[in-house]
Structure 1
Amino acid sequence: MRALLDVILLALQLYVYILIAAAIFSWLIAFNIVNMRNQFVGTIGEALWRLTEPALRPVRRMLPNLGGIDISPIILLLIIFFIQRVILLYVYPAVY
């Protein structure tokens, strides 16, 4: 059972890295540092969008409209950190 919890924690940590990469990538696009017409950049952007959008969409629906500021990745990161702490502090010690 601990091996399953370790895999879940590893997947959550990997998703945190993907969320951070997607946020940085969106900033690079917003400030015109990278060009989305480049095929390689477009492929990376599409992959990051497809990986993060299913989790960010429900968070965005619950948040009020803040204009051009998107804080949904921060909220999702806090939720993931909370789940990781619950697993580490309460579930993991109870499993033999």
Structure 2
Amino acid sequence: MNSLLWLFNTLISLYVWILIASAILSWLVVFNVVNAQNPIVRSVGEFLWRVTEPVLAPLRRLLPNLGGIDVSPVILIIGLYFIQNLVNEFFLGF
């Protein structure tokens, strides 16, 4: 059971890092730090978008419009850590 819990925690941590990378890349593209026409940047951005957008899109529809600020990744990260702690408490008992 500890191996499954380790795998679950690792997948949650990996997805949180993917969310952070997606947010940082979007900022770099918006502020013209990286060229979005570069094939490597485009393929990395496409991968990050395909992995994060199916989870973030429904969350964005639920959240109020805050202008140009997108807080959905932060809300998702908090939710993922909450679920991770809930599962850890349930299986480990602390």
Q: Secondary structure at the match of 1:9?
A: helix
Shift >3 Å, 4+ stretches:
none
Separation in 1 of the partners of 2:9 and 2:25? 24
Q: Which residue in the other structure is 1:43 paired with?
A: 43
Residue 92 of structure 1, CA deviation:
2.3
Structure 1: segments with no counterpart, 5+ residues: none
CA shift, 1:34, in A, is: 0.7
Identity across aligned pairs (percent)? 52
Q: Over the residues paired in the alignment, what is the CA RMSD in angstroms?
A: 1.0
- Matches of residues 65-84 of structure 1 in structure 2 within 5 Å? 65-84=65-84
How far apart in 1 are the matches of 2:45 and 2:74? 19
Ranked by relative contact order (alpha carbons within 8 Å, sequence separation 6 or more), the top structure is 1
Instruction: Count the aligned residue pairs.
Output: 93
Match of 1:91 in 2: 90
The Cα shift of 1:84 comes to 1.3
Unaligned runs of 5+ in 2: none
CA distance in 2, matches of 1:23, 1:12: 17
2:24 corresponds in structure 1 to 24
Q: TM-score, normalised by structure 1?
A: 0.91
TM-score, length-normalised on structure 2? 0.93
